[in-house]
Amino acid sequence: MGSKKRGHFCKGCGNFLPNEKFSGRGHRKHLCKKCKESGIVISIEPKSDYDRNFHRLSKSVRNCMIVYFEHESFFLFEYQKSRYIIGDELNSEIFVFKGDLEGKFFVSEKLQKNELVMDVLYKKYYETMDNNLTFDYEDLIYDENVEISKKRRQHLEVISSLHHLRGFL
């Protein structure tokens, strides 16, 4: 069993000190009385809304994959139980897949292109490339031996409908 440090950590001097070396507010600021008297200031910055929203959105975007055609590629992902697609290097509109409707693809109202959404999509796009979750369209449609997870198999319906979208991108 590991030993537990007693006292409190001071960010000013970098030492673990007994609780008596801290004033009431010193505990919260992580500054001992000596460092506080010497004028050291440590700012407590709460996590920004951008970071919090980035993390939340990043956790919600899942089951990503990239599909290559002859001259273009598509990035597919799932967000809040809907399937989305964005074309060629993330420079087109974000489309949501509605398989039960005639047009099948509609510009997403839920995921508007903004800095936060684009930062998360770029992160997920490069993670998808690093994890080798890129596929050739022909292999996915015609080759039954392509290894693809069950979660990503739901994208096959989207992929087979891409001819509806190719004119918009």
| Model pLDDT for residues 9-68, shown as the tens digit of each residue | 787 887 778 888 888 765 667 788 888 888 877 765 556 788 888 888 999 999 898 888
147 and 106 belong to one structural domain: yes
Look at residue 61 in the predicted model and tell me its pLDDT: 92
Same domain? 111 vs 138: yes
* CA-CA-CA-CA dihedral for 78, 80, 84, 86, to nearest 10: -90
Domain boundary residue among 44, 63, 79? 44
Query: CB neighbours (10 Å) of residue 30?
Result: 15
> What does the pLDDT read at residue 164?
61
**Rounded CA separation 78/89 (Å):** 17
Number of domain units in the chain: 2
Residue 22 main-chain phi, psi, to 5 deg: -115, 145
* Least confident among 46-50, 110-114, 162-166: 162-166
Residues 93 and 117 in one domain: yes
| pLDDT(136) > 70 | yes
- The pLDDT assigned to 2 comes to 47
Question: Of 49, 44, 69, nearest to 139 (Cα)?
Answer: 69
Q: Which of 101, 80, 94, 81 is CA-nearest to residue 161?
A: 101
Given this model, what pLDDT does residue 139 score? Answer: 76
* Higher per-residue pLDDT: 79 or 39: 79
Residue 130 has pLDDT above 70, yes or no: yes
User: Is residue 93 domain-shared with residue 35, that is, in the same domain?
Assistant: no
34 and 58 belong to one structural domain: no
Do 160 and 119 belong to one domain? yes
60, 31: one domain: no
pLDDT in the model for residue 165: 62
